[in-house]
């Protein structure tokens, strides 16, 4: 059995994480939240696959109304343990706290609204709402959207910026007397996830952690990347709830739950590939798990086509990121050698931070190929 760190237990609806409780497995609906029929179908599918917690994203009042409606009117939604992802609009917590079990906020996204208020005041509001409505909180730090001040002060140490952000927010919640929270530190590079989660656990061993490799990509590589991080962390007792983020079609979303359970079972049974490491000398293809922000459903097909079309570069240390939306895509591709992010009709292409152009869906692979060949010529394997 996995020896678990002695984290404190926090209650999320009808279950608890931390404190030696079973590791909870979670996933996230990738359907537009306002499409309540599709979102409920996915929620049902995830519950049937054994999801302990299901996250739903809200961006605006229409999303919030749709989630409230589903929780009120659907037995499945009412019975599920639901975490709301506030994306960039933390103020929606006010209308949603009474209708969910957990609120995930991103410290790096507390700057977009009400700029005159400090993040500390905003977190105090969230904690007060959580107490009043019996919710847990997650401090969800993400490499693609770290607190801008910390990203600047830490320079190249992106892991340090993430860990500092999580420590700052944990300390602030503690000062407010709110301890019903967990922390996540996500990056698309499993080695950075391992580093960040270990550093946080050393500083705050009692705080439960939610583990995940963001934009891990398609199976089987996406599962393998995540497995590397989970093996290195769970085997050291770190991690109280997990999500495997995969780029799959909506009807295949339960693969995230199945993959997470398989990884946990393998680690529990001692089937640990302790020598497996994410290889920085090879082609690294990253793609996001997709969510309600995807505007063109061709995104998953495109990610698969990019994988096939780039196989010839597999022995080159090149990172290609394929992201599903125009909101997070530009930031999430910053660290990639070649980054693609999808709009409704065009796919944007970036080379090492510089925009190359926007291409129709039937033209983007040729444009990518041109940039990839130029890059391979510069750095032969
Ligand atoms: S990159 Fe965009 S579409 Fe992909 S998971 Fe992130 S927010 Fe959703």
Q: Do 242 and 294 fall into the same domain?
A: no
Q: Which of 57, 54, 126, 63 is nearest to 85 (CA)?
A: 57
Q: Which residues contact 169 (CB under 8 A, 6 or more apart)?
A: 107, 123, 139, 141, 183
- Nearest residue by C-alpha to atom 8 in ligand 1: 291
54/30 Cα distance (integer angstroms): 11
Same domain, 293 and 259: no
Distance from the CA of 106 to the center of ligand 1, in angstroms?
14
Mutate to test the pocket of ligand 1, among 325, 333, 350 (most ligand atoms within 8 A of CB): 325
Going from the Cα of 177 to the center of ligand 1, the distance in angstroms, rounded, reads: 33
Tens digit of each residue's pLDDT (9 = 90 or more) over 323-351? 999 988 888 788 789 999 999 999 999 99
- Whether 231 is in the pocket of ligand 1, judged by its Cβ within 6 Å, is no
Residue 1 lies in a domain: no
pLDDT of residue 381: 65
Of 268, 297, 319, the position where a domain reaches its end is: 268
User: Is the pLDDT confidence value at 277 over 70?
Assistant: no
CB 284 within 8 A of CB 249: no
Q: What separation in Å is there between the alpha carbon of 272 and the centre of ligand 1?
A: 30
Alpha-carbon gap, residue 41 to 44, rounded angstroms: 5
**279 lies in a domain?**
no
Domain harbouring 223, CATH code: 3.20.20.20
User: Does residue 274 belong to any structural domain of this protein?
Assistant: no
Mean residue pLDDT across the chain: 92
144 within some domain: yes
| Beta carbons of 233 and 240 less than 8 angstroms apart | no
- 272 pLDDT exceeds 70? no
Whether residue 186 has pLDDT greater than 90: yes
How far apart are the CA of 291 and the centre of ligand 1, in A? 6
Residue 2 lies in a domain: no
Asked whether residue 34 is assigned to any structural domain, the reply reads: yes
**Beta 15-17 vs 181-186: how paired, if at all?**
unpaired
- Nearest protein Cα to ligand 1, atom 5: 290
Using CA atoms, how far apart are residues 63 and 55, in angstroms rounded to an integer?
A: 13
Residues 231 and 334 in one domain: no
Residues 221 and 339 in one domain: no
pLDDT of residue 269: 74
The CATH number of the domain holding residue 364 is 3.30.413.10
296 lines ligand 1 (CB under 6 A): no
Both 221 and 129 in one domain: the answer is yes
pLDDT interval class at 274 (50, 70, 90): very low
Among 210, 238, 268, identify where a domain stops: 268
What is the predicted pLDDT for the residue at 279?
56
* Domain co-membership, 252 together with 126: yes
pLDDT class for 278, splitting at 50, 70, 90?
A: very low
Residue 9 in this model has a pLDDT that exceeds 90: yes
Verify that 47 and 172 share a domain, yes or no: yes
Structure tokens at 380: 């032969």
Distance 105 CA to ligand 1 centre (A): 15
Range of the domain at 189: 10-268
Domain edge (last residue) among 212, 243, 268: 268
Shared domain check, 248 and 337: no
Residues 6+ apart with CB under 8 A from 36: 66, 69, 70
Residue 278 belongs to some domain of the structure: no
User: How many domains is the chain partitioned into structurally?
Assistant: 2
């Amino acid at each position: 059995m996995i020896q678990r760190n002695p984290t404190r237990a926090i209650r999320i609806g009808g279950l608890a994480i931390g404190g030696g409780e079973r590791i909870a497995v979670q996933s996230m609906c990738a359907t537009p939240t306002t499409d309540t029929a599709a979102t409920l179908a996915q929620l049902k599918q995830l519950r049937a696959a054994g999801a302990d917690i299901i996250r739903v994203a809200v961006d605006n009042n229409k999303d919030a109304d749709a989630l409230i409606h589903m929780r009120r009117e659907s037995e499945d939604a009412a019975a599920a343990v639901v975490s709301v992802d506030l994306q960039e609009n933390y103020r929606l917590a006010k209308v949603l706290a009474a209708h969910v079990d957990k609120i995930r906020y991103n410290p790096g996204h507390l700057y977009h609204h009400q700029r005159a208020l400090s993040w500390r005041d905003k977190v105090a509001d969230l904690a007060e709402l959580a107490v009043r409505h019996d919710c847990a909180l997650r401090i969800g730090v993400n490499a693609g959207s770290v607190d801008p001040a910390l990203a600047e002060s830490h320079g190249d140490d992106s892991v340090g910026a993430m860990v500092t952000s999580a420590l700052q927010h944990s300390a602030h919640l503690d000062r407010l007397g709110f301890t019903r929270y967990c922390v996540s530190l996500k990056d698309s590079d499993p080695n950075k996830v391992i580093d960040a989660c270990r550093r946080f656990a050393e500083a705050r061993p009692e705080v439960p952690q939610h583990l995940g490799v963001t934009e891990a990509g398609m199976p089987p590589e996406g599962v393998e990347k995540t497995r590397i991080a989970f093996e290195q962390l769970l085997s050291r007792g770190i991690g109280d709830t997990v999500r495997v983020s995969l780029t799959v079609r909506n009807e295949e979303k339960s693969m995230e739950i199945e993959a997470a359970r398989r990884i946990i079972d393998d680690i529990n049974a001692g089937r640990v590939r302790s020598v497996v490491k994410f290889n920085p000398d090879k082609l690294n293809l990253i793609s996001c798990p997709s969510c309600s922000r995807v505007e063109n459903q061709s995104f998953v097909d495109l990610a698969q086509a990019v994988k096939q079309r780039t196989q010839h570069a597999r022995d080159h240390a090149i990172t290609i990121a394929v992201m599903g939306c125009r909101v997070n895509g530009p930031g999430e591709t910053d660290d990639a050698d070649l980054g693609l992010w999808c709009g409704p009709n065009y796919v944007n292409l970036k080379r090492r931070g510089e925009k190359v152009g926007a291409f129709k869906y039937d033209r983007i692979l040729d444009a990518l190929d041109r940039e990839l060949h130029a890059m391979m010529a510069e750095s032969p394997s």
